[in-house]
Amino acid sequence: MYEIGHFIDGKRVAGKSGRTADIFNPATGEVQGKVALASTSELDAAVAAAAAAQIGWGATNPQRRARVMMKFGELINRDMDKLAEALSREHGKTIPDAKGDVQRGLEVVEVCMGAPSLLKGEYTDSGGPGIDLYSMRQPLGVVAGITPFNFPAMIPLWKLAPALSAGNAMIMKPSERDPSVPMMIAELLQEAGLPDGVFQVVNGDKEAVDAILDNDAIQAVGFVGSTPIAQYIYSRATANGKRAQCFGGAKNHMIIMPDADMDKAADALVGAGFGAAGERCMAISVAVPVGDKTAEALVERLVPRIEKLKVGPYTAGADIDYGPLVTRAAMERVKGLITSGVEQGAKILADGRNFRLQGYENGYFVGPTFFDHVEPHMDIYKEEIFGPVLSMVRRKSYEDALKLTMDNPYGNGTAIFTADGDTARDFASRVNVGMVGINFPIPVPLSYHTFGGWKKSAFGDLNQYGPDAFRFYTRTKTVTARWFSGIKEGGEFHFKAMD
The catalytic residue positions are 281
Distance CA 141, CA 58 (A): 8
Name the amino acid, one letter, at 481: A
From CA 238, how far away is CA 87, in angstroms rounded?
32
Using CA atoms, how far apart are residues 268 and 262, in angstroms rounded to an integer?
10
* H or E, element range at 357: none
Helical (H) or strand (E) element with 474:
strand 474-482
Q: For 423, list phi and psi in degrees, rounded to 5.
A: -65, -45
Q: How far is CA 146 from the centre of its chain?
A: 10
Residue type, 123: Y
- The Cα–Cα gap between 159 and 170 comes to 9
Indicate the helix (H) or strand (E) that contains 126: strand 123-128
Rg for the chain, CA atoms, rounded: 25
What is the side-by-side strand order in the sheet with 11-13?
Answer: 11-13, 6-8, 199-201, 169-173, 142-146, 218-224, 243-247, 458-459
- Asked whether 234 and 213 are in contact (CB, 8 A), the reply is no
Report the candidate in 172, 189, 238 with the shortest Cα–Cα distance to residue 38. 172
Q: What CA–CA distance (Å, rounded) separates 206 from 303? A: 42
Q: What does the alpha-carbon distance between residue 208 and residue 156 come to, in Å, rounded to a whole number?
A: 17
